[in-house]
Amino acid sequence: MILVGRYRSPFVRRVAATMKIYGLPYERRVLSTVTDGARIREVNPVGRVPALILDSGETLIDSAMILDHLNEIAGAERALVPAAGAERRAVLRLVALAMGAAEKGVALVYETQRRAEQLISREWADGLKTQVRAGLAALEAELAPDKSWLAFGRLTQADVSAVATWDFLGDMLAGTFAASEFPKLAALAERADRMPAFAETHPKLDA
């Protein structure tokens, strides 16, 4: 399989880390959304990463759809999202919080780093920061000091997505969301980043 995109994208990174956790090898096509738009559109008409090209040649797009397929390959026993019921809903809610914060973080990067200074709306940027902060705070609230993972005392997609989001914010918006504000989330990321699946997909590797 070929994973398209850079680990600096939280969406690419969560797919990459999940593939490593599942022991699914992949090659990489390290394309940047800033400089490689045309090549990305060849695999995803909407021009976004990640895309995953399967061995059959079929291409999957959007991290949620890709993870859906990977979970199927991993099988219900190993999948990072419970198969059904209240546990599944709880994990998916946490994943949605993490990805909501990531999406707002990406919008904040575009607003503050991709536009001419005079076109930046400080009001809009502040609103985005508030949304990211609220998402992070909701995740932080789920992490009791004695809880190593976000849900059910085991590694789930909630943790993978939360770590991908936290590390993305630290990489692209350094200093905006402080570890002192979200100490349990920061500790979760620090712990996870020592595991091969996270260390080998860290955003700094593609910086």
Stretch near ligand GSH under the rule CB under 6 A, chosen from 21-29, 42-50, 140-148, 190-198: 42-50
d(CA 45, CA 207): 25
Residue 139: left if φ>0, alpha if ψ -120 to 50, beta else—which one? alpha
Instruction: Choose, by CB under 6 A, the member of 33, 59, 148, 176 that binds ligand GSH.
Output: 33
Size of the site for ligand GSH (CB under 6 A): 11
The verdict on 190 binding ligand GSH (CB under 6 A) reads no
Of 166, 183, 170, residue with least CA distance to 97? 166
d(CA 102, CA 48): 14
The verdict on 11 binding ligand GSH (CB under 6 A) reads yes
The verdict on 48 binding ligand GSH (CB under 6 A) reads yes
d(CA 179, CA 185): 8
Instruction: Choose, by CB under 6 A, the member of 4, 52, 63, 111 that binds ligand GSH.
Output: 63
The verdict on 20 binding ligand GSH (CB under 6 A) reads no
46 contacts 19 by C-beta, under 8 angstroms: no
Q: What is the helix (H) or strand (E) element at residue 101, kind and residue range?
A: helix 85-113
Smaller CB distance to ligand GSH: residue 60 or 139?
60
Instruction: Choose, by CB under 6 A, the member of 52, 70, 98, 106 that binds ligand GSH.
Output: 106
- Report the interface residues with ligand GSH, using CB under 6 A: 9, 11, 33, 47-50, 62-64, 106
